Amino acid sequence: MSSKSIAVIRLSGELEIGRRSEIAQTLVVNGSEAGVLLDFSEVSYADSTSLAELLRFRDEAAKLNVPVVIVIGSKQFARLIQYAGLSHAFRIFDNRAEALTDLSGAAHE
């Protein structure tokens, strides 16, 4: 039985260039996680800076074989990901319960 647990990283408010270092410092994976749930359900706005950090984080997690899911509450943020052509790069959910269920299944595969 694995002792790894699912990490939850929560960001809220407006994710824009002025918060880049905070976003980069928050989006960290070390490989000890069974999976990571990015809870962005309270993000009201996001720009391309946050997308770049998300991609960096996703790549780091993939290198460590750590699955990542995202909960997005803002239609603007969801559209940004879709318009950037990244909707297939992430497993995106509307609510935390569905995301955790998906991540729990992925962590046990």
CATH classification of the domain holding 74? 3.30.750.24
Task: Choose among 17, 55, 21: nearest CA to 38.
Answer: 55
Let me know if residue 64 belongs to a domain.
yes
Residue 32 CB contacts under 8 Å (≥ 6 apart), including other chains: 4
Let me know if residue 87 belongs to a domain.
yes
Let me know if residue 69 belongs to a domain.
yes
| Whether the predicted pLDDT of 59 surpasses 90 | yes
For Cα atoms 35, 38, 40, give the angle at the middle one, nearest 5 degrees.
165
Residue 88 CB contacts under 8 Å (≥ 6 apart), including other chains: none
Is there a contact between 90 and 54 (Cβ–Cβ < 8 Å)? yes
Q: What is the pLDDT of residue 72?
A: 94
| Tens-digit pLDDT profile for residues 30-53 | 999 999 999 999 999 999 899 999
In terms of residue numbers, what domain contains 70?
Answer: 6-107
Q: What is the pLDDT of residue 85?
A: 87
Number of domains, the chain = 1
Let me know if residue 39 belongs to a domain.
yes
Let me know if residue 1 belongs to a domain.
no
Let me know if residue 33 belongs to a domain.
yes
